[in-house]
Structure 1
Amino acid sequence: MSNILKSKAVAVITGAASGLGLAAARTFAQKGMVVCLVDASSTVKDVAAGLRKEFSHTEIHAMEVDVSNLQDVTALRDTVFKECGSVHVLMNNAGIGRECPAMPADGQSFDEYLAQWQAVIDVNVWGVVYMSMLFGPVMRSQKEQSVIINTGSKQGITCPPGNAGYNVSKAVVKTYTEQLAHELRNYPSSLCSAHLFIPGWAYTAMNGNGREGMTKPDGAWTAEQTVDYMIDKVFNHGDFYALCPDNETTTAIDHARIEWSLGDIIENRPALSRWHPEYEKQFAEFLQKKVPNH
């Protein structure tokens, strides 16, 4: 699928004003693609202006859009296909993080607590679903290859305790993208495929890193490294799961953690047993067996 990334092909990226989205936009612009930067922040216009200076021969658009708003996404779809004709890469990357435990804290306002949950689900889930369900039918009817790339998270797979709302939202993205991939694969004559982008620890503002004046931790990858890895997995190898390592967590460690998490069901262990004190030693032994001297 590497031939998708060519001059004048069209890429639409949500959450494109910073972080992974901006890194992807820059990569696609380097290849001479028409790049549509979509973000809820008005800064997307300044970001696009900067990219136009950096890539003077590349067509770059900026769209200030709330992907959790169905009317806004519908208007975005209509505008993009009217102005660009086709979409070859749709990268649904917009996402937010909020403190969303499974239950409100003692004394916490329920309305405030619920609003945090709703914000996360609206952007992280409905943003991906709206974009996919509105752009997807047009893309699957195109006569050229195209891809839909949805940004998930390892937190939607192994589900570490501490932020139930975010974990739930990314678990939904994983399941939805798997279903989307199956439907596209079985749609007659479709040349569109879906893929799940699973970043590792990336140095971006999304996870509290990558802010002005901060230094990248040794364990983190840059946004550019993470996007480059995803592009290789998706476009050069055609992989559905673009599971990214970082400088702290190898692919082998990721595989072991995922295997253990799924094993909770098969072995009838307690939920999230990896973080259960009675299973701490057992998990450590399992990880050592799977990844010696990790």
Structure 2
Amino acid sequence: MNHPAIRENNVAVVTGAAVGIGFAIAERLCKEGMKVVLFDKDGILLAHAVSTLLKLHPNAQLNPILGDVTSTKSLEKLYHASTEFGDVSVIINNAGIIQGAGPWQDLEQWRHLMEVNFWSILQIQTLFTEHLIQKGRPAAIVNLGSKEGITTPPGNAAYSVSKAGLKVLTEQLSHELRQLPDNLITAHLLIPGYTFTPMNFPGMNDSSEKPQAPWNASQVADRLLEGLSLNEFYIFCEDNEVTKELDQKRMQWTADDMIKNRPALSRWHPEYKEAFQSFIQSKE
């Protein structure tokens, strides 16, 4: 059984909907009979997405909107177009970028990445949440997190910071919604694993062959609907290389860095290499 927010002829808003996980989620929601607002900044890819969806679902009700998540004007346009399209009940904050910077490098890239990966989502929540509350009907807000926002590996500080901040924001949103009398709105953090998308495989297209390791974006979309139906907040996705058990071990080790006062990111510290390997192989 689906989450009650996924209702035929209700409106789902998907950002970054032209390709990858966003497109896969849009397609899955079309299959459920929802009206879908597809928001993206690439007009060519957006038109291709609409054409593909109509081939798959000839009766799909689609509203493509060209815009940039870092533009307040674009997001206000998205809000008004979506609420005029019908009864909005699903928000999918998928748009994001991965090109980041180190902890003392490229301040302008830091600002841009945070605008896309964090501030735009906060602004969309600010635009839509009160509207959903006033409607008084079941709704779901889904933010796209990352395992890098939980274990925060070295190498892309800006991206990890943006996704760690988004994790906390979504946790706070979920808690505050639960405090409302007769609340019917839920918040969720979708946490993809290694996925075959243009973000991870630049230059890929419809005919590109998927390597063995990553999941397809459609598997992530299916996992999202499964997680929503179970009312999971943390909707973790696996891939074909990393099991749920290994993910949990990595997260536990990260949490224990604070509890045991180990060096920051000790999983990648030479002195803890053997201890970490022993830990993930243990049955604790």
Q: TM-score range by the shorter chain?
A: over 0.9
How far apart are residue 209 of structure 1 and its match?
A: 5.6
User: Take 1:133 and 1:260, find their aligned partners in 2: how far apart are those partners?
Assistant: 35
1:253 aligns with 2:253: no
After alignment, is 87-96 or 63-72 more displaced? 63-72
3-state SS of 1:77 partner: helix
Corresponding residue to 2:213 among 213, 219, 222: 219
Aligned residue for 1:49? 51
Aligned residue for 1:142? 135
3-state SS of 2:151 partner: coil
Aligned residue for 1:14? 15
Give yes or no for contact 1:152–1:199 (8 Å, CA) kept in 2: yes
3-state SS of 2:88 partner: coil
1:172 aligns with 2:172: no
Aligned residue for 1:90? 91
- Aligned length in residues: 281
3-state SS of 1:20 partner: helix
> Counterparts in 2 of 1:160-239, with a 5 A limit?
160-208=153-201, 211-212=204-205, 214-234=208-228, 236-239=229-232
User: Take 1:210 and 1:27, find their aligned partners in 2: how far apart are those partners?
Assistant: 24
Aligned residue for 1:157? 150
Give yes or no for contact 1:199–1:244 (8 Å, CA) kept in 2: yes
**After TM superposition, what 4+ stretches of structure 1 lie above 2 angstroms from structure 2?**
1-6, 212-215
After alignment, is 264-273 or 117-126 more displaced? 117-126
Give yes or no for contact 2:100–2:113 (8 Å, CA) kept in 1: no
Which consecutive residues of structure 1, in runs of 5 or more, have no partner in the other structure? 105-112
> Counterparts in 2 of 1:46-85, with a 5 A limit?
46-84=48-86
Q: Which amino acid aligns with 1:50?
A: T
Give yes or no for contact 2:4–2:139 (8 Å, CA) kept in 1: no
Q: Which amino acid aligns with 2:70?
A: S
User: Take 2:152 and 2:280, find their aligned partners in 1: how far apart are those partners?
Assistant: 17
CA spacing shift, 1:149–1:159, aligned 2, 3 Å: same
3-state SS of 2:222 partner: helix
Give yes or no for contact 1:209–1:216 (8 Å, CA) kept in 2: no
Aligned residue for 1:107? none
3-state SS of 2:12 partner: strand
Give yes or no for contact 2:11–2:82 (8 Å, CA) kept in 1: no
Give yes or no for contact 1:158–1:258 (8 Å, CA) kept in 2: yes
Q: Normalization by structure 1: what TM-score? A: 0.92
After alignment, is 31-40 or 201-210 more displaced? 201-210
How far apart are residue 115 of structure 1 and its match?
A: 2.1
Q: Deviations over 1:231-274 (max 9, x none)?
A: 1011x200000011111111111111000001000000000000
Q: Deviations over 1:49-107 (max 9, x none)?
A: 331232121211100121112222122112211232x2111000000111411123xxx
Q: Normalization by structure 2: what TM-score? A: 0.95
How far apart are residue 210 of structure 1 and its match?
A: 7.2
After alignment, is 254-263 or 65-74 more displaced? 65-74
User: Take 1:129 and 1:290, find their aligned partners in 2: how far apart are those partners?
Assistant: 40
Give yes or no for contact 1:203–1:210 (8 Å, CA) kept in 2: no
CA spacing shift, 1:169–1:30, aligned 2, 3 Å: same
Aligned residue for 2:123? 130
Aligned residue for 2:264? 271
Q: Which amino acid aligns with 1:77?
A: Y
Q: Which amino acid aligns with 1:18?
A: V
After alignment, is 136-145 or 49-58 more displaced? 49-58
3-state SS of 2:135 partner: coil
Q: Which amino acid aligns with 2:53?
A: L
How far apart are residue 214 of structure 1 and its match?
A: 4.2
Give yes or no for contact 1:274–1:283 (8 Å, CA) kept in 2: yes
How far apart are residue 4 of structure 1 and its match?
A: 2.9
